[in-house]
């Protein structure tokens, strides 16, 4: 932005002040504008106060002569103004200008060297960053291969788990169909006597529905004429000794009740199993046999009862007396 006659000297002065932090004074500069020529003294100095202004420069232009027309010969005017009467003074002026140009050139060289050093430093940083990026890229490639390997292992494990899930699902289906087909009422309990699973046939004895899974057994209503079921189950869990007894429902049906510890495949006790086997027909046969025995015993005739193979099963007192 500086005009001819000021540009080179101003650039040199600014550079010196920034480097050495000392004022620079250049007198007698001839500066041209569109219409006139100005003779000025240039001063550039660093600003030290206030603290907020540190790092700034102050540029002072002190005008020495009135404005002159632009078409005036600057060299002739300078010679006339300075009363240049001999060649020695012209040589001094020319030497001063040459020295200013040398300083300007030196400043330009220093700036170029600084720029080259900064460029070299930047290039080294870029090279180091490139090496780090290359190393990171190699690490990412290694991680990618490891991730691919882990992914393949996970796919294999997932396939095996899926197969095991299907096998367990089929086994559960087979077990459910087996328990349902046997018509044996079964209840699986945990250590807190909470219902974990049951078969449909048990609903004839204990009023269980699917939403009862997880509920304690003593919260559920039964049809049994048997009041010590909870105590007997707890005793089996405490002693690990199975119990078996015949129980009757309020509807007159009889069941063989078995209470056993629930053992896993690793022989770990995880609760209890209650089974109900319907023995109503057996009880009726036993009752009929008792009645028949009483009739035979009271008969005046001799009565011998055999099975289908001719083996004697029962005789009345009249036979033994004869």
Q: What structural domains does the chain harbor? A: 7-126 (no CATH), 184-278 (3.30.450.20), 292-321 (no CATH)
- 221: alpha, beta or left? (left if phi > 0; alpha if psi -120 to 50): beta
Please give the Cα distance from 220 to 189 (Å, whole number).
13
Q: Partners of 248 in the beta sheet? A: 254
Q: Where are the alpha helices (DSSP H) in the chain?
A: 7-20, 74-81, 87-182, 229-239, 280-298, 317-321
DSSP string covering 227-276: S-HHHHHHHHHHH---EEEEEEBTTS-EEEEEEEEEE-TTS-EEEEEEEE
- Could you tell me how many residues make up the chain? 322
Q: Partners of 287 in the beta sheet? A: none
Phi first, then psi: what are they for 234, rounded to 5°? -65, -40
> What H or E segment, with its residue span, contains residue 58?
strand 57-63
Please give the Cα distance from 288 to 165 (Å, whole number).
52
Q: What is the reported pLDDT for 208?
A: 86
Q: Which residues have CB under 8 Å from 313's CB, separation 6+?
A: 305, 306, 307
Q: Are 245 and 224 in contact (CB under 8 A)?
A: no
CB atoms within 10 A of CB 106: 13
Q: Are 29 and 41 in contact (CB under 8 A)?
A: yes
| Alpha-carbon Rg for the chain in angstroms | 59
DSSP string covering 36-48: EEEEEEEEEEE--
Please give the Cα distance from 231 to 239 (Å, whole number).
12
Phi first, then psi: what are they for 76, rounded to 5°? -65, -40
Please give the Cα distance from 76 to 30 (Å, whole number).
12
DSSP state of 125: H
Q: Are 209 and 185 in contact (CB under 8 A)?
A: no
Nearest to 225 by CA among 257, 186, 184: 257
Please give the Cα distance from 63 to 82 (Å, whole number).
15
Task: Give Cα 300 to chain centroid, integer Å.
Answer: 93
Q: What is the reported pLDDT for 121?
A: 92
Please give the average pLDDT of every successive group of 10 residues along the chain, which has 322 residues: 83 84 86 80 90 89 68 51 55 73 79 89 92 92 92 93 91 77 85 89 86 89 88 92 92 91 85 91 81 68 73 70 58
Q: What is the reported pLDDT for 84?
A: 45
DSSP state of 309: T
> What H or E segment, with its residue span, contains residue 192?
none
Q: Are 25 and 40 in contact (CB under 8 A)?
A: no
Q: What is the reported pLDDT for 90?
A: 66
Q: What is the reported pLDDT for 298?
A: 65
């Amino acid at each position: 932005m500086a005009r001819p006659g000021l540009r080179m000297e101003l650039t040199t002065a600014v550079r010196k002040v920034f480097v050495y932090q000392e004022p620079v004074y250049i007198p007698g500069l001839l500066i041209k504008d569109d219409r006139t020529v100005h003779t000025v003294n240039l001063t550039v100095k660093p600003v030290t106060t206030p603290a907020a202004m540190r790092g700034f420069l102050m540029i002072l232009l002190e005008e020495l002569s009135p404005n002159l027309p632009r078409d005036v010969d600057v060299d002739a005017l300078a010679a006339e103004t300075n009363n240049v009467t001999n060649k020695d003074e012209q040589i001094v002026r020319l030497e001063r200008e040459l020295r200013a140009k040398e300083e300007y050139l030196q400043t330009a060289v220093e700036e170029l060297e600084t720029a080259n050093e900064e460029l070299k430093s930047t290039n080294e940083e870029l090279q180091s960053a490139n090496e780090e990026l290359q190393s990171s890229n190699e690490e990412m490639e290694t991680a990618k291969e490891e991730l691919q390997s882990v992914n393949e292992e996970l796919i294999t494990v997932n396939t095996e788990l899926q197969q095991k899930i299907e096998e367990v699902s089929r086994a559960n289906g087979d077990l459910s169909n087996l328990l349902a087909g046997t018509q044996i009422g079964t209840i699986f309990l945990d250590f807190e006597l909470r219902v974990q699973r049951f078969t449909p046939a048990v609903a004839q004895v204990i009023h269980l529905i699917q939403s009862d899974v997880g509920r304690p057994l003593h919260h559920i209503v039964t049809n049994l004429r048997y009041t010590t079921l909870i105590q007997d189950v707890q005793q089996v869990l405490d002693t690990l000794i199975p119990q078996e007894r015949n129980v009757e429902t309020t509807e007159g049906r009889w069941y063989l009740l078995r209470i056993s510890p629930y053992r896993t495949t690793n022989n770990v006790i995880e609760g209890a199993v209650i089974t109900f086997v319907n023995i109503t027909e057996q009880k009726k046969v036993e009752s009929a046999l008792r009645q028949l025995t009483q009739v035979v015993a009271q008969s005046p005739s001799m009565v011998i009862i055999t099975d289908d193979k001719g083996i004697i099963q029962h005789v009345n007192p009249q036979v033994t007396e004869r």
